[in-house]
Chains A and B, each alone.
Chain A
Amino acid sequence: MSKETKQILSTDGIPLEESLKKAEKKNKIKAFLLVCPLLLFLIITYVFPIGEMLFRSVDDKMVTNMLPKTYKAMENWDGKDLPEEDVFKAFYLDYKILVEAKRHGRLATQLNYEKNGFKSILKKLARKQKNFEEGNYKEQIMKVHKRWGQVDYWRAIKRRAPAYTYAKYLKGVDMYENEDGKIVQVPENRRIHKLLWMRTLNIALGVTILCFFMAYPIAHLLATLPMKYSNLLMICVLLPFWTSLLVRTASWMILLQQQGIVNDFIVWIGLVSDDNRPEMMYNKTGTFVAMTQILLPFMVLPLYSVMKTISPSLMRAGKSLGATPAIAFFKVYFPLTIPGIGAGCLLVFILAIGYYITPALVGGASGTLISNQIAYHMKETLDWSFASAMGLMLLAGVLAIYWLYNKLVGVDNIKLG
Chain B
Amino acid sequence: MSKNKEFVKFDKVDKSYDGKVLVVKDLNLNIAEGEFVTMLGPSGSGKTTCLMMLAGFETPTNGEIYLNSNPISNIPPHKRGIGMVFQNYALFPHMTVYENLAFPLRVRKISKDEIDKKVDKVLSMVSLSGFEKRMPGQLSGGQQQRVAVARSLVFDPQLVLMDEPLGALDKNLRESMQYEIKHIHESIGVTVVYVTHDQGEALTMSNRIAVFNDGKVQQLSSPDKLYEEPVNSFVAEFIGENNTFSGEVTDFSKDKCKVKLTSGNEILANPIAIKSKGEKTRVSLRPERAIIDPDSKMENKFKGKIEEVIYHGDHTRVRLNLLENKEFILKVPNSSARMDIKVGNQLNVGWNSFDARALDPK
Contacts of A332 in B (CB 8 A): 92
A319 in the interface (beta carbon within 8 A): yes
Partner of B77, one of A311, A314, A320, A336: A320
Identity of the chain A residue whose Cβ is nearest the Cβ of B78 in the assembled complex: A319
Tell me whether B77 and A316 are in contact (CB under 8 A).
yes
**Residue in chain A with minimal CB distance to B84:** A320
**B72-93 interface mask toward A, CB cutoff 8 Å, 1 = contact, 0 = none?**
0000111111111011101111
Q: Which residue on chain B has the smallest CB distance to residue A331?
A: B103
Question: Given the complex of chains A and B, what is the CA–CA distance between A144 and B123 in angstroms?
Answer: 96
Residues of B with C-beta under 8 A to A317: 84, 86, 90-92
Cα(A335)–Cα(B99), bound, Å: 14
Whether A335 pairs with B94 at a CB distance below 8 angstroms is yes
**Extra 6 A-B pairs, beta carbons < 8 Å, given A320-B80, A321-B104:** A313-B86, A318-B103, A321-B107, A321-B155, A325-B78, A327-B107
A338 (CB) vs chain B CBs: closest residue:
B94
Question: Is B57's CB within 8 Å of the partner chain A?
Answer: yes
Contacts of A319 in B (CB 8 A): 56-57, 76-78
Contacting residue for B86 out of A316, A325, A328, CB 8 A: A316
Beta-carbon contact of A313 and B90 below 8 Å: yes
User: A314 with B92: in contact, given A320-B83, A322-B155 (CB under 8 Å)?
Assistant: yes
Check if B286 is an interface residue, CB within 8 A of chain A. Answer: no
Give bound CA distance, A336 to B95, whole Å.
Answer: 10
- Min CB gap B322→A, angstroms: 48
- A276 interface residue, CB < 8 Å from B? no
Q: Which residues of A contact B320 (CB under 8 A)?
A: none
Complex Cα gap A122–B54 (Å): 92
A131 at the interface (CB under 8 A from B): no
Alpha-carbon distance A318/B77, docked complex (angstroms): 10
Enumerate chain A residues within 8 angstroms of B152, measured Cβ to Cβ. Answer: 320-321
Residues of B within 8 A of A45 (CB): none
User: How many angstroms from the CA of A322 to the CA of B106 in the assembled complex?
Assistant: 9
**Is there contact, CB below 8 Å, between A336 and B94?**
yes
Q: Is B108 in contact with chain A by the CB < 8 A criterion?
A: yes
Please, which residues of chain B bring their CB within 8 A of the CB of A327?
107
Interface assignment of A324: CB less than 8 Å from any CB of chain B: yes
Cβ contact within 8 Å between B55 and A320: yes
Chain B residues with a Cβ closer than 8 Å to the other chain, count: 27
Judge whether A233 is part of the interface by a CB distance below 8 angstroms: no
Partner of B107, one of A314, A323, A335: A323
| Given known A-B contacts A321-B151, A323-B78, A314 and B103 have beta carbons under 8 A apart | no
Please determine whether A320 and B82 come into contact, CB atoms closer than 8 angstroms.
yes
* Residues of A contacting B: mostly: helix
Q: Are B78 and A322 in contact (CB under 8 A)?
A: yes
Q: Which 5 A-B pairs have the closest CB atoms?
A: A321-B104, A317-B90, A320-B84, A313-B90, A319-B77
Minimal Cβ-Cβ distance residue in B for A334: B94
Select the residue from A320, A324, A331 with max chain B CB neighbours within 10 A: A320
- Kindly identify, within residues 142 to 189 of chain A, every residue whose CB is under 8 Å from any CB belonging to chain B: none
Among residues of A, the one whose C-beta sits closest to the C-beta of B148 is A317
Q: How far is the CA of A321 from the CA of B90 in the complex (A)?
A: 11
Given known pairs A316-B77, A328-B78, A332-B92, the reply for A323 and B86 (CB within 8 Å) is no
Contact A313 B81 (CB under 8 A): no
Question: Which B82-126 residues have a C-beta within 8 angstroms of A?
Answer: 82-84, 86-88, 90-94, 103-104, 107-108
Contacts of A313 in B (CB 8 A): 86-88, 90
Which residues of chain A come closer than 8 Å to B77, judged between CB atoms?
Answer: 316, 319-320
Contact present for B81 and A322 (CB under 8 Å)? yes
Per the bound structure, the CA–CA distance linking A319 and B57 in Å amounts to 9
Q: Can you list 5 pairs linking A and B with CB atoms under 8 Å apart? A: A316-B84, A319-B78, A320-B56, A323-B107, A324-B107
Q: B141: shortest Cβ distance to chain A, in Å?
A: 15
Docked pose: A314 CA to B93 CA in angstroms: 9
Kindly name the residue among A311, A321, A324, A331 whose own CB sees the greatest number of chain B CB atoms within 10 A.
Answer: A321
CA distance A320 to B153 in the complex (A): 12
Query: Are A316 and B57 closer than 8 Å at their CB atoms?
Result: yes
Contact flags A288-319 to B (C-beta < 8 A → 1, else 0)? 00000000000000000000000101101111
Find chain B residues with CB under 8 A from A325 CB: 76, 78
Closest to B77 in A: A319
Which B residues from 47 to 72 make CB contacts under 8 A with A? Answer: 55-57
CB distance from B118 to the nearest CB of A (A): 13
Assembled-state Cα–Cα distance A311/B79 (Å): 22
- How long is the Cα–Cα vector from A282 to B142 in the complex, in angstroms? 62
Which residues A198-224 have CB closer than 8 A to chain B?
A: none
Q: Is the CB of A321 within 8 A of B87?
A: no
Q: Separation in Å of the A326 CB from the closest CB of chain B?
A: 10
Contact in complex: B104, A322 (CB < 8 Å): yes
* Residues in A neighbouring B78, C-beta threshold 8 A: 319-325, 328
